[in-house]
Structure 1
Amino acid sequence: MPDLPRKESHLKVLRLLEANPGVSQRELAHDLGISLGKTNYCIRALLSEGLIKMQNFRNSDNKAAYAYLLTPEGIVAKADLTRRFLAQKLQEYEALRREIDHLREEAGDS
């Protein structure tokens, strides 16, 4: 899966936005451990794919405050990405478990 890092970033962003729609991009960048620019790029990609939408807080004193809401397509995409990453991580886990067993055999441990 060549665009795996991008899809993983999208999944992380979708999960965080679902949990906290009012999070700022700066807070999101901090929570993800990525730059603000990369966060903005990811948000724009999710917006252009129709997976999230922005809604202005009309009652907010901060008129630049937005909520990022998952669209129905975003909810479906998040579920699909979650299933795919779970399957991938289970495969990685099994491969790692086999390698550990092999190393234990080589080391003479039981």
Structure 2
Amino acid sequence: MSAPQDPDQRVHLELMRLLEAHPEYSQRQLSRALGVSLGKAHYLLRALLDKGLVKAQNFQRSERKLGYLYVLTPAGGKRKAQLMRSFLVRKEHEYEQLQREIAELRAQLDSERPTP
């Protein structure tokens, strides 16, 4: 299984996780939570909507007359799980590499220590 190297895949995963937790978020709230511009949040959300991974439903709120709930579709849930697995595999690989690098650096330091 290939890891999501595409930055948009990583952000799509973050967005899908965020939408699961907060389907009522506006695009402005999503952009803030993701740390991206409002235009980028719209672009990312539109891509998920166009792929059928998310659907928008109208709802009424007291502070706004009309808003949307962004809900993952069954296909969106499957895609989120795929992205999470892929992301986890990549992070586990990075963690193992980092552990090896730390061990090598410690061994190098130990070998360079002056002996009394």
TM-score, L = length of structure 2: 0.86
Structure 1 residue 3, shift from structure 2 partner = 5.3
Indicate the residue corresponding to 2:56 in structure 1.
54
Structure 1 residue 108, shift from structure 2 partner = 1.3
Alignment RMSD, CA only? 1.6
TM-score, L = length of structure 1: 0.91
Separation in 1 of the partners of 2:24 and 2:61?
11
Structure 1 residue 97, shift from structure 2 partner = 0.8
Q: Is 2:27 the counterpart of 1:13?
A: no
For 1:13-46, what per-residue CA distance to the aligned partner results, in whole angstroms no more than 9, with x for missing partners?
0000001100111111111111111111000000
Indicate the residue corresponding to 1:44 in structure 2.
46
Aligned-residue sequence identity (percent) comes to 50
Higher relative contact order (CA 8 A, sep 6+): 2
Aligned pair count reads 108
**Bigger CA radius of gyration:** 2
